[in-house]
Structure 1
């Protein structure tokens, strides 16, 4: 039976968060809080878990636009081609924060993403998400939890998320009510930053 784990962002219980990390390591799927909406995620290095997420979302893995959730910008070169100093300064200004930055993918991407020209990088301003990635030791591949309701695009109540998703995932982390605004998506692969989706993150960083 999938577990609903209560974790407080201001006082993270190491034993509780370790449960979720162990699930990720074993190829399981988790739902967890970010600084925007709740995300569905798995370990970036586990291809069968990645396939499961792609199947749930109804997309082919190689054509998917999942985000890479990173703890900071320290291992960026593992996933992203070399970027210029102005791009790096923009990332430093905006992150951690409610942004997804589309950047050119590097040749050292994990096998499942080998042919991807671009990747979406996220460093959420949420202690639970950052601790998960830190303890796991590599990024979580993530996608937003959408709601079937036409009025509410995103479910914000973790208990409702658990009710709806418990048959598809191994753990739901209850980190309190989520936001119902997704991240701002900015494409940095061209000559000028291009806003793909205006979300929670302010455009003042540009």
Structure 2
């Protein structure tokens, strides 16, 4: 049975964060508030949870997911950060921005080869939401994530907790309900070319 945990959006209760982390570490699928709407989240080794996401969102196995990280140093172990990319992350994180970066050799093998064609890049976010950051700390490692873009749910307001719970609780194992959060989507910055490029302006536009 899925669990909806009502958690304080500013001072989240540690016991609830730990409970959610335990569910994710055991292979569960969760809903977590971020600075760009609620997101589906699961552990790096959560293969079955990822399969559920693919079925839920009707995605093929090559669809790239985003890594939520705690710090730039953690991102730097999974992606290659040259000086311009490092400066950009330092200036724009934490915040509602996704960075497409060249993958590091240290990227877990499953993320490189799990139905994907030898991934050469990776999407990384450092979210600026107290609950998301607390969950990442409890996990002790990055989380895989994707936005709530669901088939036949065009009107889903992914930043409104009640709407998310009503339409999505049946698909997940746990929801950290921190009330409404900032809308999305994130801005997306591609750092794989000669110069960083904004490929999508989000709810909070960025200037490079």
TM-score normalised to the size of structure 2?
A: 0.90
CA contact (8 A) 1:105 1:118 kept: yes
**Counterpart of 2:191?**
188
Deviates more, 1:2-11 or 1:48-57: 48-57
Aligned equivalents of 1:18 and 1:75: distance in 2? 21
**Counterpart of 1:141?**
144
5+ long unaligned stretches in structure 1? none
Aligned equivalents of 2:142 and 2:130: distance in 1? 15
Deviates more, 1:153-162 or 1:11-20: 153-162
Q: CA RMSD in A?
A: 1.6
Change over 3 Å in CA distance of 1:183–1:29 after alignment to 2: same
Aligned equivalents of 1:73 and 1:97: distance in 2? 12
> 1:63-106 CA deviation, whole Å, 9 max, x = no partner?
1121100011122233112x221210110000000100000112
Change over 3 Å in CA distance of 1:165–1:153 after alignment to 2: closer
Aligned equivalents of 1:130 and 1:122: distance in 2? 11
Aligned equivalents of 2:109 and 2:157: distance in 1? 31
**Counterpart of 2:88?**
90
**Counterpart of 2:38?**
38
How many matched pairs? 202
- 2:61 matches 1:65: no
- 2:163 matches 1:173: no
**Counterpart of 1:161?**
164
Secondary structure of residue in 1 paired with 2:165: helix
Aligned equivalents of 2:204 and 2:119: distance in 1? 25
**Counterpart of 1:126?**
129
Change over 3 Å in CA distance of 1:202–1:179 after alignment to 2: same
